[in-house]
């Protein structure tokens, strides 16, 4: 006996639920936010990507340490600048610059 296919299919997610995974890493999410507005605060970036400020601070620190991002203090705020010529060390990503990646993702 055949059952209806609707019994076997999962319910679609509700509009207010966030997905359990993402194609892009949190590091890339941070970079996309900063590329759009280099003067965002950590709190604003964290809110946009759905992480805590502490987790976002860790991601920014890692990007700065890797050389993909610079951080300059301007008064009480930070100004971030993406190093568009930076290239990741991963073998699958070599030959691609951060600028190329961000350009492709923002198109």
Q: pTM of the prediction?
A: 0.78
9 and 16 Cβ atoms separated by less than 8 Å? no
Write down the mean pLDDT value for the chain: 86
Instruction: Decide if 11 is inside a domain.
Output: no
Rg over alpha carbons for the chain, rounded to the nearest Å, is 18
Write out the residue range of the structural domain in which residue 37 sits.
Answer: 23-106
Give the CATH number, domain containing residue 33.
Answer: 1.10.10.10
pLDDT of residue 36: 95
Q: In this model, does residue 4 exceed pLDDT 50?
A: no
Q: What is the pLDDT of residues 51-93, one digit of tens each?
A: 999 999 999 999 999 999 999 999 989 999 999 999 988 888 8
Q: Dihedrals φ, ψ of 72, to 5°?
A: -130, 130
CB atoms inside a 10 Å sphere around CB 105 = 12
What is d(CA 54, CA 42) in angstroms, rounded to the nearest whole number? 9
Instruction: Decide if 2 is inside a domain.
Output: no
Instruction: Decide if 8 is inside a domain.
Output: no
The total number of structural domains in the chain stands at 1
66 and 25 Cβ atoms separated by less than 8 Å? no
């Amino acid at each position: 006996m055949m059952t209806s296919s609707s019994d076997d299919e999962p319910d679609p997610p509700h509009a207010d639920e966030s997905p359990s995974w993402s194609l892009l890493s949190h590091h890339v999410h941070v970079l996309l936010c900063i590329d759009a507005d280099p003067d965002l605060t950590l709190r604003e970036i964290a809110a946009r990507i759905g992480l805590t400020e502490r987790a976002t601070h860790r991601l920014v620190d890692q990007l700065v340490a890797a050389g993909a991002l610079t951080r300059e203090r301007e008064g009480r705020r930070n100004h971030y600048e993406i190093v568009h010529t930076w290239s990741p060390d991963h073998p699958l990503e070599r030959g691609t610059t951060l600028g190329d990646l961000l350009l492709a993702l923002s198109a």
